[in-house]
Structure 1
């Protein structure tokens, strides 16, 4: 088979909920933009049934291997020459994470780099800047994963503060929503709010110090809320780099989800079934952050970690 003339790069972001694949052709000219050849994702729910016990359960373990085998096929189809694969919270803290990294390498030849929360936050900020013009004022960037949540206070040029908290949507679901088939009970809501107040004390201090003027949400939860506002589910290819979320729209969706059962949530236009329950606990978190900051300007970013990695690779060394 002929080698492609150009360097083609696959970027894989293995999150706790979703595995993402981005394939680009790297430009030959400096400062030129890469050409996107494929952007796809698979809902793996790596944290399901085990993340709170510190293990990746058997079914999600198999789903992860299956997803990577599918990505490998896409990479061969697109004649990829280089691969960068990163894994985050679920792989970071589970005792069988290293074994999964090993199995992925043996079955697909893909080397997975497990990255720390701090590094994850840095890459997310770089990715978000590709989608949202932050300008000279500080913004709060928030990425709700299944395992961890990253908060970054940044402007277009620098990061003022960043922190990763192991309070992702799957963990919150396990902790506060033992029966996601039903309505989220008021006592569970109060318990989650009290927990967030306690755990996110460092965020409260950072907000006090840096006074961010807007919130940028990078992650599936924010995309889902934007889809709900729109009234339909958009494909990965349809998602614009950034959308606006109105505080009224968010509040409406949030109140609606709190009062519905799982079946009713799944039936809402714009909701992916795998997010129907997570979106409830994630919305409690978003609501908490909006109240903490008093922010009314909310934007979503379809770009996050993998776009940050790409931006970093394209940046010419100083």
Structure 2
């Protein structure tokens, strides 16, 4: 007998806020299917406030509250039975992050869980990432966000090392990253990958997904280091306006895509990888899998 359920994930990042609604298809004797029903992305750059002045501005707080009210209504009309909302580095580092979460809970009825980098990495790991990991190969998983980047090394099909660094696209745009941070990341990557052969990168995040789409590669085929490097040079040669008008990038993507590409290029170079796999996975997908597997957690949506 077929059973259809709907779960939702809210990802409150440093560069944008996303609502993902998934159909969960359960059928006796068959593997559960997770199919995207709807994805809404709102370009509220919380990190611009949090990383520069230490708190989320009144204007962005109001925009975020409106977005959460809209998301709550969208979940209701879609018939979502369960959801989870997670906020990452921008809200975590804002002086008024917890206060804003309480206001949203009261006025929008959306409960927000402000998570740290380790928790973020573990949620993403609950996606279909394990199906991509081959036991005889090694991987460096790189998830680039607006405020932080998560690095995870997989060897023999298991996690060998994992670390979150306060480096992200919004921080880089605001010239907040010292050379010492780059050096620290380089040392960590080289230390944890030096004895690994046949290593590849697994990249996640909106920017690497966009780079993959621009490449025209078939889903499942990896990007090459040479392509990524040449694309980086090409993007830098264009003005912000040209990246919007000629490449069709969203205004809030056209600036952050360059620093994001720089992080992926450096991770590839320091690890000695030649290929970058780009599966369509991220925090939102991980949240859906998490609340499905932990049936007593997550939040039931009140009708």
Structure 2 length normalisation: TM-score? 0.85
Residue 146 of structure 2 aligns to a residue whose secondary structure is coil
RMSD: 2.7
- Structure 1 alignment gaps of length 5 or more: 177-190, 232-239
C-alpha spacing 1:69/1:243, structure 2 compared with 1 (3 Å): farther
Shift of 1:250: 1.5
Shift of 1:257: 1.9
Structure 1: distance between partners of 2:294 and 2:50: 41
C-alpha spacing 1:113/1:26, structure 2 compared with 1 (3 Å): same
For 1:259, the equivalent position in structure 2 comes to: 237
* Per-residue CA distance 1:84-124 (angstroms, 9 max, x = gap): 11111111111111111112111221111111111111122
Equivalent positions of 1:148-297 (< 5 A) are 148-154=148-154, 157-175=157-175, 195-210=181-196, 213-230=199-216, 244-297=222-275
Residue 175 of structure 2 aligns to a residue whose secondary structure is helix
**How many residues get paired?**
290
Structure 2: distance between partners of 1:56 and 1:192: 23
The answer to whether residue 4 in structure 2 is matched with residue 11 in structure 1 is no
Structure 2: distance between partners of 1:206 and 1:256: 31
Structure 2: distance between partners of 1:91 and 1:266: 28
C-alpha spacing 1:51/1:277, structure 2 compared with 1 (3 Å): same
Structure 1: distance between partners of 2:47 and 2:219: 27
Residue 100 of structure 2 aligns to a residue whose secondary structure is helix
The answer to whether residue 276 in structure 2 is matched with residue 298 in structure 1 is yes
Structure 2: distance between partners of 1:200 and 1:92: 25
C-alpha spacing 1:193/1:302, structure 2 compared with 1 (3 Å): farther
C-alpha spacing 1:54/1:134, structure 2 compared with 1 (3 Å): same
C-alpha spacing 1:34/1:257, structure 2 compared with 1 (3 Å): closer
For 2:134, the equivalent position in structure 1 comes to: 135
Residue 127 of structure 1 aligns to a residue whose secondary structure is coil
Shift of 1:140: 0.9
C-alpha spacing 1:206/1:268, structure 2 compared with 1 (3 Å): farther
C-alpha spacing 1:62/1:242, structure 2 compared with 1 (3 Å): farther
- Structure 2 alignment gaps of length 5 or more: 296-303
* Per-residue CA distance 1:253-308 (angstroms, 9 max, x = gap): 10012223222222342522212121121222222112111211111122111222
Shift of 1:174: 0.5
Structure 2: distance between partners of 1:303 and 1:209: 27
Stretch deviating more after TM superposition (240-249 or 62-71):
240-249
Stretch deviating more after TM superposition (76-85 or 111-120):
76-85
Where is the strand percentage greater, Structure 1 or Structure 2? 2
Shift of 1:145: 0.4
Stretch deviating more after TM superposition (289-298 or 42-51):
42-51
CA contact (8 A) 2:141 2:153 kept: yes
Shift of 1:227: 2.8
Residue 255 of structure 1 aligns to a residue whose secondary structure is helix
Equivalent positions of 1:63-102 (< 5 A) are 63-102=63-102
For 2:57, the equivalent position in structure 1 comes to: 57
Shift of 1:208: 2.0
